[in-house]
Amino acid sequence: MTINDYNFCVSHHADHLFRFILKHTQHEENARDVVQNAFEILWKKRDEVDAEKAKSFLFSVAYKNMIDQFRKQKKVNLVDEFPAQIKIVNEHKSGLKEILDKALNTLPEVQKLCVLLRDYEGYDYKEIGEILSLNESQVKVYIFRARQTLKNYLVSIETVL
Amino acid sequence: MNINRNNYEEYFINYMENELTASERKAVEAFVEANADLKSELELFESTKLEADNRIVFKGKDKLIKKEETKIIAWKWNLNMWSIAAMLILAVGTGWWMFHPSDDTNQLSIKSEMPKSDSLSNSKPEIQNQKEERILIEKKSIAKGVAIKKIESIKINEHHDCIVQEIQPKLDSSYKRIIASVNLQNAKDSAEMIIANQDKIENKDNANLSDNEIVAVANKKSDEHILASLPMKTNSTQRQIIKALAWLGGKISGNNSNDGNFNIDLGFAQINHKEALANN
């Protein structure tokens, strides 16, 4: 990729990458470090990375970097787990977006990642699999489970309301 | 496999995920029409689609942006050029500073180096120093190249200008007496002989030193007894002039007959004896 391709990535993907990472880290500085690190790696490997694959490369690098950070902090569990018991406290004051944000945080990390890449970035299952080092079927299953969980969360909210 | 109440969730999810074919989508829509109680559930699944918060932006993109490589190369090139230019300026400046003092300094130094008329006779060390300095400067000039040599030439000429200012009045009034009375072939050589023997000369009463005494002293060092025919006494002023001529490398040339048509070549000035006499 050329320097212009790289700069295009900065202009068009940095915000997306930052939002994606921030959703997981919940820590702005950590998310910023991960994004910067991803772009540094992209710049170093710009001769090897095709411009069309640059965005996926960024997300993949950022994801791995984030996982490394989480592992160091022992806050991540990549094994798919059933969601923790949903606790609903005064959710009726929140809008749908806020409810979904809270529901999202109840998801296992890998499901959360899949859903975010799917909804935020519009990646297909194959692309998500490439970024997260999963096969397409796994991605499909994780997203299926994530949708069920999120829907059930909303159902629970409606029940409370 | 067709959609039914046991598998509808998968179809609903694939529907909202837009993973169904057109016919499958129609099948789902028909199923929902037939099962109205599940319509809200489909809507809930569709509600699970997340939307990014566009208000969240990465602050610092400008730090990640890379400049055009051509500009970087140009900057590096300019940097090199500036470095070279700075070195050249430094070198020239240093050379100028070493070999070309400012005009004010030059004037002062020349004036201090040129003693007043009464003390000129005691100026041998200063004259020698000046000559040595000039030779040293010229050697350095050759080493430093033509440009600096030109600068030094200017400097020497400036010395000459100062010297002229210092001795010109005396030269105008006295040189004719020397030139007219001596059979000089080379005033420089004769003056140098005098200077070389100045210690002996200075030990005597300069004012009363006879011509023959001067010539005798001079002849001790050289057969070039160009002052041999001095018919008159050389006073201190005349000797100063001779010293100055020697210092300046002045030469007297031309006809030395009685018509007094001599030329004094001081390098920086040509003085015709006859014309000078006429002016006087």
- Judged by CB atoms closer than 8 Å, whether chains meet at B58 and A35 is answered as yes
In this prediction, residue A127 carries a pLDDT of: 92
* pLDDT band for position A139 (cuts 50, 70, 90): very high
For residue B114, is pLDDT > 50? no
For residue A107, is pLDDT > 70? yes
Q: Which residues of chain B have a CB within 8 Å of the CB of A11?
A: 61, 65
Q: CB-based contact (8 Å) between A47 and chain B?
A: no
HEC sequence for chain A: CCHHHHHHHHHHHHHHHHHHHHHHHCCHHHHHHHHHHHHHHHHHCCCCCCHHHHHHHHHHHHHHHHHHHHHHHCCCCCCCCCCCCCCCCCHHHCCHHHHHHHHHCCCCHHHHHHHHHHHHHCCCHHHHHHHHCCCHHHHHHHHHHHHHHHHHHHHHHHHHC
- Judged by CB atoms closer than 8 Å, whether chains meet at A19 and B13 is answered as no
Cβ-nearest to B44 among A7, A18, A155: A155
* Angle formed by the axes of helices A3-25 and A109-121, nearest 10°: 130
- Judged by CB atoms closer than 8 Å, whether chains meet at A18 and B58 is answered as yes
> Which tens digits make up the pLDDT trace of B186-217?
444 555 555 555 555 445 444 454 555 554 44
Distance from CA of A138 to the nearest CA of B (A): 15
Cβ-nearest to A6 among B48, B50, B66: B66
When scoring A36, A147, A153 by the number of chain B Cβ atoms within 10 A, the one with the most, hence best to mutate, is A147
> Which tens digits make up the pLDDT trace of B74-84?
455 555 666 66
8 A C-beta contact, residue A153 and residue A106: yes
Distances, alpha carbon B242 to alpha carbons B37, B120, B194, in Å:
132, 11, 8
Token representation of residue A17 = 């990458």
In this prediction, residue B115 carries a pLDDT of: 39
8 A C-beta contact, residue B228 and residue B214: no
* pLDDT band for position B120 (cuts 50, 70, 90): very low
**Residues near B48 by Cβ (< 8 Å), separated by ≥ 6?**
A100, A103, A146, A147, A150, A151, A154, B16
CA-nearest residue to B16 within chain A is: A147
CA-nearest residue to B10 within chain A is: A144
Mean pLDDT of A63-86: 61
Cβ-nearest to B66 among A7, A16, A96: A7
For residue B61, is pLDDT > 80? yes
In this prediction, residue B257 carries a pLDDT of: 41
* pLDDT band for position B137 (cuts 50, 70, 90): low
List of long-range contacts for A132-141, beta carbons under 8 Å, 24+ apart: A132/A60, A132/A63, A133/A60, A134/A110, A139/A114
Token representation of residue B96 = 């100028």
> Which tens digits make up the pLDDT trace of B225-237?
333 333 333 444 4
**Residues near B60 by Cβ (< 8 Å), separated by ≥ 6?**
A32, A36
When scoring A2, A10, A45, A141 by the number of chain B Cβ atoms within 10 A, the one with the most, hence best to mutate, is A10
For residue B172, is pLDDT > 70? no
For residue B2, is pLDDT > 70? yes
- Judged by CB atoms closer than 8 Å, whether chains meet at B44 and A151 is answered as yes
B263 forms beta bridges with: B253, B272
Q: CB-based contact (8 Å) between A118 and chain B?
A: yes
